[in-house]
Amino acid sequence: MSSRSSKPSSDFIQLLPPELAMMVLLNLDIPSLCYASQACQDWHNVIQDTEYLWKLLCDHHCVDAADIAEDRANGYSWKETVMRNFGHHAIKRKWLKGEFSNFSSFEDIPGKHMCCMDVETWGRILDLELSR
């Protein structure tokens, strides 16, 4: 008769040395990593609490060094910095800073810079554009 507690763990985060588990996690894109953190409490703790992982993700996926430096100077963690500078958050931030202002033609607009935003954000962007 076997008990559940004697069943070997199949959780790679617990089985692998921390360096190898980190290498596996680093091969995930940011959305997949966020989903993986919801798989179980152990994965969540490792992913959410490992600043080194978020720093490496920031180095690989966030392109605006000035925004990253500003966030870090303002006390944001590496995870918060990634979230503020990746995907739709980065696009929103660039719109608010005016980086998509004053294009002379459609061809001048950088690719992949569209995202959903709430009415309040669009109102702020329009107010800023009118004042530029």
82 near 61, Cβ under 8 Å?
yes
Rounded Cα distance between 99 and 102, Å, is 9
The domain spans of the chain are 12-85, 89-132
pLDDT at 72: 94
19 near 53, Cβ under 8 Å?
no
pLDDT at 108: 72
pLDDT tens-digit profile of 48-103?
A: 888 988 998 888 877 778 889 999 999 999 988 988 888 777 777 777 778 777 77
Higher per-residue confidence, 55 vs 7: 55
In terms of CATH architecture, what is 12-85? Answer: Up-down Bundle (1.20)
Task: Please say if the pLDDT value at position 5 is more than 60.
Answer: no
Task: Please say if the pLDDT value at position 1 is more than 80.
Answer: no
33 near 47, Cβ under 8 Å?
yes
pLDDT at 3: 46
pLDDT at 69: 92
pTM over 0.75: no
pLDDT tens-digit profile of 94-120?
A: 777 787 777 777 777 666 566 667 788
pLDDT at 119: 84
Output the CA–CA distances (angstroms, integers) from residue 97 to 57, 67, 113, 125, 129, in the order listed: 23, 11, 14, 9, 10
